[in-house]
Amino acid sequence: MENGKIMKTLYELRNEIEVDTDLKKQLRKTFVKKSRTRKWKNAWIPLLAAASLFLAFLLSNEQVPQHVKASSLKIANAISFLDIGSGEITAYTYHDGRLYLSLEGRGIFVYGNELKKVLNNAADSFSRSSKGEKLLFTYNGDVFLFDVKTTKSEKVLDGTPDSSYIYPEWKDQNHIYLTKVTDKEKQIVEVNVQTKEETFIASGEMASLVEKEQKLVFERHGEIIIYNVKSGKETIVDRGKYPSVTNDGNYISYVKERSGFEDVWISDMDLETKNKVTTNPSPRFEPSGEGMYRYQFPIWGNDERTLYVMKKRNDGENGPAKIMKIELSEQSSTEIETVKSYLQALMVRDDDFAKSLLKDQPEFLTYSNPKQIGFQILETTKKEQSTSVKAEVYCTDTSLAYYKVSTYDFTLMKENERYVIETVKELSATELLSNEQNEIELVKDGKGEALFSLQDIPQSFIQTENIRFSSLLRTHDEKTVIFSLQGMDETSKVTLFSFNRETKAFNLLATLEGGVMYKVALDATGRYLTADYSTDALDSKMLIIDLEKGKQTDFTNVRSKFWKGDKLILEEVAETHSMYYQYDPHTGSKINY
């Protein structure tokens, strides 16, 4: 029977069935009521699910940088945060928020909250990537596996008298890529770490694996090459050396030389755009046709917005090797951020980065004295074609009782999609100094006012007649002067005082055993005071005083660099190296800078 006839017969039979219409109406009311109640009761479930997905989307967007073209990435900050004065840096890599460095003849160190030695063996090269907690490194032609958790190492592959291995790179748990070096050439080879079976891949060196695309990026004869592992196809990226790729495989970093000047460049993996992310200046004194620095091993941090690169002087001064951190952003730095970066670069004496933010670059920017030790942004004014940023800058002299508060006007203009400082003008200056009459004098707009003299200080505070004023400052509210007295005898102490300009009262803040005072500085809130001093020619000591609670915290082998708001940028100084950290006086914690 056809479907149409069946449906017609059933319909006719339905009409012949006797129905209790009252019961039908009652059941309908009950059903509709329950149905509506159930509908509204559960309506929040899909809404909550959608909201959860949307929130997860927002959070993921905050944590993972949006991918943009290399040409769109701009330098947000660049600072040399680690100086190695003794021991050549032979290799370094980045893993899980930490930098691992090999120092020739000294071993492998990790840079976290301190520079800590983790292995006696040095390394010639590290793997760019890791497998879990496992890194690879090479030394004297052999390949080693290094467990960063246990800090144990084991040899996994021996070199031979005729060949050696360098630049390891993980492929998977059982296979690694290596550069095999012989008298004739350098080859990229794949090695099974279990069977030691070796497979030739291509001529070249320093391979990085782009796992998602199964491509290798390496150098050959001064060119950066992308090699398709499956097809064997090769594509030239650019002239350059020391290639490295981001963990997500979106960017390539490398060093490129043009007209004698080396710089760090980045390229899209699809080669659509390229971007230079360093500014290598000319040597200060005698132009030689070469840049001031040589760059090596530009490696990426955990994300695609941070680069670490080693730079060395190229002008005969043989300064220490420095590790520089370059922070990239798809957003141009604002006018205020540009001024902040400029002033911070001056305070850590990174003239090269500071100059890159100026339209017209002077030969010198920083001097030994007086030196900048802090700043505060006051106001910003938008104009038709420029922006004015006013800032208060604090300077001191490390050998004299001298402190200066200057108000500067920075005029900025947009150039090549970023702000540059066109002019810097000092609008006003207030100086605090010790005059010939042994008085502390405040000089403002050319007019001097004597605040107090040595004779005004209560004699109970004076421990010797052979004494002089040393480092000093004025608090932000201008009501208090904080100053130090420097004993001139060998056994003399350094004492810190405050002077209230309204009540004329003196208060003893701290007594430091012997030594020489270099500077005092105040955080942006006016609560925390740093005092840098030394007890002999070789040590560096620092004291932080909580002016509200009177609490003191002592540091050894540390110098304060500047206050970044209420956080202190400090430099830990060792016999062979120095490192920058950020210290929070509220919590007593420090983090990498």
Tokens linked to 114? 């301190």
- Cα(546)–Cα(467) distance, rounded to whole angstroms? 26
Domain 70-331, CATH homologous superfamily name and number = TolB, C-terminal domain (2.120.10.30)
- Least confident range of 312-326, 408-422, 480-494: 312-326
Q: What value does the mean pLDDT take over residues 432-448?
A: 92
CB within 8 Å of 157: residues ≥ 6 apart: 142, 143, 165, 178, 191, 193, 196
Query: Is the pLDDT score of 15 beyond 60?
Result: no
% of the chain exceeding 70 in pLDDT = 85
- Predicted pLDDT of residue 144: 97
**pTM surpassing 0.85?**
no
- Predicted pLDDT of residue 26: 45
- Predicted pLDDT of residue 5: 41
List % helix, strand, coil for the chain (3-state, nearest 5). 15, 50, 35
- Predicted pLDDT of residue 363: 61
Q: Which CATH number among 3.10.450.50, 1.10.260.40, 3.20.20.70, 3.60.15.10 corresponds to the domain 333-434? A: 3.10.450.50
Which pLDDT band holds residue 318 (cuts at 50, 70, 90)?
low
Tokens linked to 476? 């932000």
CB within 8 Å of 410: residues ≥ 6 apart: 339, 342, 388, 389, 390, 391, 421, 423, 424
- Predicted pLDDT of residue 441: 96
Q: For residue 264, which of 214, 231, 300 has the smallest C-alpha distance? A: 300
- Predicted pLDDT of residue 352: 81
- Predicted pLDDT of residue 32: 40
The mean pLDDT of the chain is 85
- Predicted pLDDT of residue 12: 43
| Beta bridge pairs of residue 219 | 205, 224
- Predicted pLDDT of residue 156: 96
* Residue whose structure tokens are 């005698």: 286
**Boundaries of every domain in the chain:** 70-331, 333-434, 437-592
Tokens linked to 63? 């944590």
Query: Is the pLDDT score of 1 beyond 60?
Result: no
- Predicted pLDDT of residue 87: 63
Question: 408 and 424 in contact (C-beta within 8 Å)?
Answer: yes
- Cα(155)–Cα(171) distance, rounded to whole angstroms? 18
- Predicted pLDDT of residue 283: 74
What are the phi and psi torsion angles at 390 (to 5°)? -100, 135
Which pLDDT band holds residue 364 (cuts at 50, 70, 90)?
low
Q: What value does the mean pLDDT take over residues 164-182?
A: 96
pLDDT in tens, 457-502: 998 888 777 889 999 999 999 999 999 998 877 667 889 999 999 9
Q: Which long-range contacts (CB under 8 A, 24 or more apart) does 526-534 make?
A: 526/475, 526/476, 526/477, 527/566, 528/563, 528/566, 528/568, 528/585, 529/482, 530/560, 530/563, 530/568, 531/471, 531/484, 531/496, 532/559, 532/560, 533/494
Q: Which CATH number among 3.40.50.620, 3.30.930.10, 3.40.50.1980, 2.130.10.120 corresponds to the domain 437-592? A: 2.130.10.120
- Cα(325)–Cα(322) distance, rounded to whole angstroms? 10
216 compared with 291, residue with greater pLDDT: 216
Question: 329 and 76 in contact (C-beta within 8 Å)?
Answer: yes
Q: What value does the mean pLDDT take over residues 60-79?
A: 77
- Predicted pLDDT of residue 55: 38
- Predicted pLDDT of residue 579: 87
Tokens linked to 58? 């927002």
